[in-house]
């Protein structure tokens, strides 16, 4: 079994798959005072992730709580569902959103009217929603990290030639010496995403819970792969582009939880502009263009070239999808936006969780309609009160 695994590993990591002809892993051995990225370096991300988890707990219980108090984050009073054994059993064991036929059956078992059963389930679901303070603390932590990561990444790249001339990303590939700033930028980013993966079970659960897991795993794999095959210059630029807009979204969430609706809306519009500039202009037309076109003028194509650019292409497709959802939300936030008329067969409902919130604008939807936007943008829920 061990021999088979060793043979499989040797086949997967053979030189001709990941490097141009005539180059390979032997070229990445330390020599003449130059240090290169190594796979064993990635083990350090696990203690870094543990440190992030500890720092996060301290941060959320001190700094985030104080900031929430300063911004006057308040909990909205929630009406608790009256004790009812039959409905509670169905809620815990069957479904939190009973169908119409189930509601009618529950009315017979609980001796309640249809409207009373529906109201009980609405109130019971409200009891399980995370508090505003908890959501604010999470957004505050992520805002702090993304902002500091963007500033640190910008500081590490601002004096590098490949920050201004993208072709420098491939000058000398794959024998590109590792700089201390690149090492720590990679390890801290990877450690943070590992910590998010560890804490996702206790974080606020949203409709895109599974998508969050996929997103975190994909991010970790992408960053790790670029480290292993020494695509570090391209990797640092791609991480910087992503960090450029994430902190704006988290700050919009913070102001939404604090009830600063106009501030939230304006920040979200700014976030939409930065997101489109960085991920629909800079990333595809500068970075991806250089990783796809320029290397072919230096080397014949190889599997690692197609694999790396294929991952970037998938990432870019997600950006296009998310940008469409962001624009739809941003347009609703613009001053003077026309309200949606309220037909007779519709009834008004309130937004229970909007990240960022479209208030003060009013929306009218069919009862029970739920919309959500994936992790990179936000989750949008509509729930009857």
Structural domain includes residue 292: yes
At 80 the pLDDT is 79
How many folded domains does the chain comprise? 2
Q: Which contacts of 160-169 are long-range, i.e. CB under 8 A and separated by 24 or more positions?
A: 160/233, 162/233, 162/237, 163/237, 166/237, 166/286, 166/287, 166/289, 166/290, 166/294, 167/290, 167/294, 168/233, 169/233, 169/234, 169/237, 169/290, 169/291
Please give the pLDDT value at position 342: 42
Q: Identify the domain boundary among 298, 315, 332.
A: 332
Same domain, residue pair 139 and 105? no
Q: Which residues pair with 354 in a beta bridge?
A: 380
Same domain, 140 and 102: no
Residues 6 or more apart whose CB falls under 8 angstroms from that of 77 comprise none
Q: Are residues 165 and 240 in the same domain?
A: yes
Position 182 in a domain = yes
Q: Is residue 120 over pLDDT 90?
A: no
**DSSP label at 281?**
I
Instruction: Please check whether residue 235 lies inside any domain of the structure.
Output: yes
| Residue span of the structural domain in which 194 resides | 28-70+131-332
On whether both 327 and 252 belong to a single domain, the answer is: yes
More confidently predicted of 75 and 153: 153
Closest CA to 227 of 161, 318, 308: 308
Paired with 381 in beta bridges are 353
pLDDT digits (tens, 9 = 90+) for 78-93: 777 788 888 888 888 8
- 339 is a domain residue: no
2 pLDDT tier (thresholds 50, 70, 90)? confident
102: domain CATH number is 1.10.10.60
Residue where the block lists tokens 């009073």: 77
Q: What is the mean pLDDT of residues 11-39?
A: 85
Answer whether residue 382 is part of any domain: no
Q: Could you tell me if 199 and 138 lie in one domain?
A: yes
Closest CA to 362 of 383, 338, 345: 338
Q: Say whether both 119 and 56 belong to one domain.
A: no
Q: In this structure, are residues 121 and 91 in contact, taking their beta carbons and an 8 Å threshold? A: yes
Both tokens of residue 18? 């990941």
- Same-domain pairing of 94 and 199: no
Is there a single domain that holds both residue 117 and residue 142? no
The answer to whether residue 338 scores a pLDDT higher than 60 is: no
């Amino acid at each position: 079994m061990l021999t088979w695994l060793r043979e499989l590993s040797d086949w997967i990591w053979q030189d001709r798959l990941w490097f141009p002809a005539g180059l390979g892993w032997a070229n990445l051995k330390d020599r003449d005072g130059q240090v290169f990225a190594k796979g064993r370096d990635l083990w350090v991300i696990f203690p870094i992730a543990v440190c992030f988890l500890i720092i996060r707990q301290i941060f959320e219980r001190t700094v985030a709580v104080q900031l929430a108090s300063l911004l006057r984050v308040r909990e909205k009073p929630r009406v608790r569902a009256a004790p009812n054994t039959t409905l509670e059993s169905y809620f815990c064991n069957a479904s939190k959103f009973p169908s119409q036929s189930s509601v009618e059956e529950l009315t017979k078992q609980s001796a309640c009217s249809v409207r009373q059963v529906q109201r009980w389930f609405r109130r019971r679901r409200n009891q399980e929603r995370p508090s505003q303070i908890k959501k604010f603390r999470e957004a505050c932590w992520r805002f702090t990290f993304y902002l500091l990561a963007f500033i640190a990444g910008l500081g590490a790249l601002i004096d590098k030639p490949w920050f201004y001339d993208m072709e420098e990303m491939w000058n000398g590939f794959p024998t590109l010496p590792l700089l201390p700033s690149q090492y720590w930028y990679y390890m801290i980013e990877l450690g943070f995403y590992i910590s998010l993966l560890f804490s996702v079970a206790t974080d606020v659960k949203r409709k895109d819970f599974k998508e969050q897991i996929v997103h975190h795993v994909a991010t970790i794999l992408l960053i790790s792969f670029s480290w292993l095959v020494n695509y570090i210059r391209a990797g640092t630029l791609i991480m910087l582009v992503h960090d450029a807009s994430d902190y704006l979204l988290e700050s919009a969430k913070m102001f939404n939880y604090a009830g600063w609706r106009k501030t939230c809306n304006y920040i979200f519009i700014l976030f939409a502009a930065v997101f489109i500039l960085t991920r629909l202009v800079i990333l595809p037309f500068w970075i991806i263009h250089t990783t796809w076109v320029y290397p072919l003028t230096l080397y014949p194509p190889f599997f690692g070239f197609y694999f790396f650019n294929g991952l970037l292409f998938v990432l870019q497709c997600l950006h296009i999808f998310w940008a469409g959802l962001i624009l739809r939300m941003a347009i609703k936030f613009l001053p003077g936006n026309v309200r949606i008329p309220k037909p007779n067969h519709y009834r008004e409902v309130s937004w229970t969780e909007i990240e960022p919130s479209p208030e003060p604008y009013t929306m009218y939807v069919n009862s029970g309609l739920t919309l959500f936007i994936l992790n990179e943008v936000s989750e949008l829920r509509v729930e009857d009160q």
